[in-house]
Amino acid sequence: MIEVKNLHKSFGGVEVLKGISTTFEKGKTNLIIGQSGSGKTVFLKCLLGLFDYEEGTIAYDGKIFSQLTEAEKRNMRAKIGMVFQGSALFDSMTIAQNVMFPLKMFTKQSKSEMEDRVDFVLRRVNLDDAHNKMPSEASGGMQKRVAIARAIVNNPKYLFCDEPNSGLDPKTAIVIDNLIQEITDEYQITTVVNSHDMNSVMEIGEKIVFLKNGLKAWEGSNKTIFKTDNEVVTDFVYSSNLFKKVRKMYIDENE
Amino acid sequence: MIAEMFRKPTKWSVMKQLILKDVDDLIIGSLGIVAFISFFVGGVVTIQTALNINNPLIPKYLVGFATRQSIILEFAPTFMSIIMAGKVGSFITSSIGTMRVTEQIDALEVMGINALNYLVFPKFISMLLYPFIISIAMFLGILGGMAACVYGGFSTLEDYIVGIQTDFETFHVVYAFIKTFSFAFLLATIPSFHGFYMKGGALEVGKASTTSFVWTSVAIIVLNYFLTQMLLS
């Protein structure tokens, strides 16, 4: 579980996060949604420890990150898996080497043990025969799956995904969403997904935090988002005619 | 940046491979261009020197002497380093800069890896072999001079060999290698700095490479002046 309390972050005097407090629960897919410029990526980078923040605390299973020693922070980071928006695969390494990288850096496993683990996670993300391909030879969807495989290879306790299905076709995007959901359930990890894809919201949003102008404007789930009267949320989520109709159908069905 | 580069070292088994890869990219990969340029510039230096010695009272072996001095004191350590600022420097800046743009550095940092140690330290260690490149540049420069001198008919092989042995001072080679080590440090760190701390996209990677080349060249020229002042005057 990740607990965030009163998080403030500024850039050059401009406050981007204005006191966000929320909890990301273990074994659930937690979504951060909001318009471009609402502070989602900054929030995610604060959670990852890539940005320092002026005020507030972030606690991983009760341990406040900023109060940890360097060694403790290093150990904590080894428990984090991250899927970047552009996948961020190391382009000088093959797909198998990319996935093996966290094992080589943080474990004392033998080469055969590492290879077995890489085979297992690549199978898990349905990439059985891509071991020797370079990232540049893989499609966008494959790269995302490799990024997920690299993120989970070292059995993380926390999985962060920054817009994991951006740039993907709707079908592949759903495959990626479902994969994230399945992995979260299977390994009981705390997953935080940064997204503005409405399909993701409906499919995997077990917990949703909606940000607007650096503030938490709403909190709920993919079940409660249909019923909310919060105008800020409805303006954003149901901005397209398709989703307006979906919402109407959902409400009609449940009345 | 330099202090941070030595903190939180990467596992030796991984670091060893990174160093070998950088030796291949930065040192071995530069040998071709270094050999080509050194040989022909050595020839040009010899021809220019020979053509400017018109006085019959000046002995012919001075062509070899002047070529040796030019190559060992300035051409090989300094001008080859400026060429390397273009070749090796832009490679370092663009490769690290691309990793920054594509979030690969963020990926390393999220994993708790000291990205400066992982990316810059192997380059720094690899560049300790830079004097090897400069030794080859010295040898091939003098050899190119000899070929130009003999086949161009400017003097005999014997005169040239006498010239390159005349008034040889070991300290000149020491001076050249002190400069080489200093320039190797600049070649590893300045381009890495420009790549690592760059912001923006693909266009900025190109700009960072150009900026790094300019600043590395300026630093080499300025340091060359001060080292020469300190060591030779």
Burial letters A67-96, b for 16+ CB under 10 A, else e: eeeeeebbebbbbbbbbbbbbbbbeeebbb
Per the structure block, which two tokens stand in for B233? 């005057």
Cα–Cα distance, B109 to A101 (Å, whole number): 13
| Domain encompassing residue B104 | 2-227
- Examine residue A245 and state whether it is found in any structural domain, yes or no: no
Query: CB contacts < 8 Å between A and B, how many?
Result: 51
**Tens-place pLDDT, residues A171-180:** 778 888 888 8
- In terms of phi and psi (left: phi > 0; alpha: psi -120 to 50; beta: otherwise), the region of A61 is left
**Tens-place pLDDT, residues A13-48:** 888 999 999 999 888 899 998 888 888 889 998 988
- Examine residue B232 and state whether it is found in any structural domain, yes or no: no
A80 closest CB neighbour out of B13, B103, B110: B110
Contact A105/B109, CB-based, under 8 Å?
no
Within a 10 A sphere around the Cβ of A157, how many other Cβ atoms?
A: 18
Q: Is the ipTM of this complex over 0.85?
A: no
- Examine residue A247 and state whether it is found in any structural domain, yes or no: no
Cα–Cα distance, B35 to B56 (Å, whole number): 34
- Residue A253 burial (CB < 10 Å; 0-12/13-18/19+)? exposed
* Average pLDDT estimate for B67-73: 93
| Domain encompassing residue A217 | 2-226
The continuous run of DSSP H or E covering B208 comes out as helix B202-232
- Examine residue A248 and state whether it is found in any structural domain, yes or no: no
pTM higher than the cut 0.90: no
Number of domains in chain A: 1
Q: Residue B14: its chain A contacts at CB < 8 A?
A: 104-105
Per the structure block, which two tokens stand in for B71? 């190559």
Number of domains in chain B: 1
Percent of chain A with pLDDT over 90: 22
Residue the block writes with tokens 């074994």: A27
Residues 6+ apart with CB under 8 A from B230: none
Which residues partner with A218 through β-bridges?
Answer: A210
B106 closest CB neighbour out of A73, A77, A84: A84
Question: Residue B231 — φ and ψ, nearest 5°?
Answer: -90, -30
For an interface test with A, the pick among B110, B117, B199, B205 (most A C-beta atoms closer than 10 Å) comes out as B110
Q: CA of B12: which chain A residue's CA is closest?
A: A105
The HSE-up count of residue B184 (CA atoms within 13 Å, CB side) is 24
For an interface test with B, the pick among A44, A82, A103 (most B C-beta atoms closer than 10 Å) comes out as A82
Q: Supply the mean pLDDT for chain A.
A: 86
- Examine residue A240 and state whether it is found in any structural domain, yes or no: no
**Tens-place pLDDT, residues B80-118:** 999 999 999 999 999 999 999 998 998 998 888 889 999
Beta carbons of A124 and A180 less than 8 angstroms apart: no
Residue the block writes with tokens 């080894």: A78
Show the CA angle centred on residue B69, arms to residues B66 and B70, nearest 5°. 85
Residue B199 is classified by DSSP as -
- Examine residue A239 and state whether it is found in any structural domain, yes or no: no
Contact A74/B10, CB-based, under 8 Å?
no
- Examine residue A255 and state whether it is found in any structural domain, yes or no: no
Q: Which of B190, B211, B227 is nearest to B77 (CA)?
A: B227
- Examine residue A106 and state whether it is found in any structural domain, yes or no: yes
* Average pLDDT estimate for B208-221: 95
